[in-house]
């Protein structure tokens, strides 16, 4: 099964290494079925330097690469890529149209978008460049907060390390969950973050959001998730009227106060699910959700999995699953 990775100039080395190492580990375990034959292709096939300064040797240039591939993967450079040359665009279109599936990692989405191959598709990219991708290519449906997106034969992933998540999903598609899980254990990483999981952490926006009243509001939400966090209460906290506060939230953070509160509460619940043995009912209370049912709905809406499923994937080695319906632990 031929996997072709195309790398532009100034590439993030981890995007190449993550994919190749995961596929290498899969090959070590495949007993029956097709193993992966991976080729790394650049425009000219000459030794190249990655963004971090590490030099690497591609397997071929576009003029002498094997093909057609089963899977074509376009990785991204540091920052925004330059528009690919006409020969590269033609070659990518030819390879993609003959492949079973194709897609991008990080800002590799810009490279594929320049070829027209992503028109009408849903894709994601690194959160820092999602708005620019959407503005430059309005015919593409950009899902800025996704770890990876699959739209028919087209796949795309968020920044850098999400390449590993994406590769696990391809291995699982080809050879089943058992092999993907074995590879994940070999690499000592989670099998996968849910495809719908947000790239963003609400808690991190305290460090990057607007200054002034937002500092106080965001800190208040983090410290008192069980308090009344309705827009009226938050507006009163900083001496604004609710309409003004809502407008400022949309301007500074691109979301409503209510949505931000829910994201923060989900963040708090995620941490507790990962690091504690507390039952889900107690975690729902500690994170400010009225019930475990409300917590479940928020997780499905924001992450795409239930709290129990999230815990089974991400709990730390000492946390355990806990009693999912009990109330013997009180969190504060």
Q: Which residues contact 285 (CB under 8 A, 6 or more apart)?
A: 226, 331
**CA dihedral of residues 97, 99, 100, 101 (deg, nearest 10):** -80
Pick the closest to residue 310 from 277, 269, 279, 281 (CA basis). Answer: 269
Residues designated catalytic: 106
Structure tokens at 236: 């009163």
Q: Which residues contact 190 (CB under 8 A, 6 or more apart)?
A: 184, 313, 314
Phi, psi of 225 (to 5 degrees): -65, -20
Structure tokens at 213: 């009243």
**CA dihedral of residues 211, 214, 215, 219 (deg, nearest 10):** -160
Cβ–Cβ < 8 Å for 192, 158: no
Task: Give 56's strand partners.
Answer: 48
Is the Cα torsion angle 54, 57, 62, 68 positive or negative in sign?
negative
What is the Cα–Cα distance from 168 to 181, expressed in whole angstroms?
8
What is the Cα–Cα distance from 47 to 41, expressed in whole angstroms?
11
Q: Which residues contact 174 (CB under 8 A, 6 or more apart)?
A: 1, 33, 34
Structure tokens at 92: 């990518």
What is the Cα–Cα distance from 295 to 12, expressed in whole angstroms?
37
Residue with tokens 């990219």: 125
Structure tokens at 110: 């810009």
């Amino acid at each position: 099964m031929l996997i072709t990775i195309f790398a532009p100039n100034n590439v993030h080395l981890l995007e190449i290494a993550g994919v190749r190492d995961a596929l290498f580990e899969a090959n070590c375990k495949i007993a029956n079925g097709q193993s992966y034959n991976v080729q790394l292709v650049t425009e000219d096939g000459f030794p190249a330097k990655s963004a971090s300064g590490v030099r690497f040797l591609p397997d071929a240039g576009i003029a002498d690469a094997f093909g057609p591939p089963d899977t074509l993967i376009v990785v991204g450079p540091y920052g925004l890529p330059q528009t690919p040359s006409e020969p590269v665009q033609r070659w990518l279109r030819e390879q993609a149209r003959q492949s079973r599936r194709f897609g991008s990692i990080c800002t590799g989405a810009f490279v594929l978008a320049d070829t027209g191959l992503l028109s009408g598709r849903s894709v994601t990219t690194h959160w820092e460049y999602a708005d620019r991708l959407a503005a430059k290519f309005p015919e593409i449906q950009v899902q800025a907060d996704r770890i990876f997106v699959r739209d028919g034969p087209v796949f795309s992933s968020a920044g850098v390390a999400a390449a590993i998540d994406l590769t696990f999903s391809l291995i699982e598609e080809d050879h089943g969950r058992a092999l993907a899980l074995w590879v994940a254990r070999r690499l000592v990483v989670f099998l996968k973050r849910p495809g719908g999981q947000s790239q963003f952490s609400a808690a991190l926006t305290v460090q990057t959001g607007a200054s002034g009243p937002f500092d106080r509001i965001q800190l208040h939400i983090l410290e008192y998730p069980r308090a009344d966090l309705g827009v009226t209460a938050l507006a009163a906290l900083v001496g604004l009227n609710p309409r003004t506060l809502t407008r400022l939230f949309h301007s500074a953070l691109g979301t409503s106060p209510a949505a931000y509160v829910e994201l923060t509460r989900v963040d708090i619940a995620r941490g507790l699910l990962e690091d504690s043995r507390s039952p889900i009912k107690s975690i729902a209370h500690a994170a400010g959700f009225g019930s475990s049912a409300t917590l479940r709905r928020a997780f499905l809406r924001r992450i795409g999995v239930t709290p129990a499923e999230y815990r089974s994937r991400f709990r730390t080695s000492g946390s355990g699953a806990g009693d999912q319906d009990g109330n013997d632990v009180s969190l504060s």
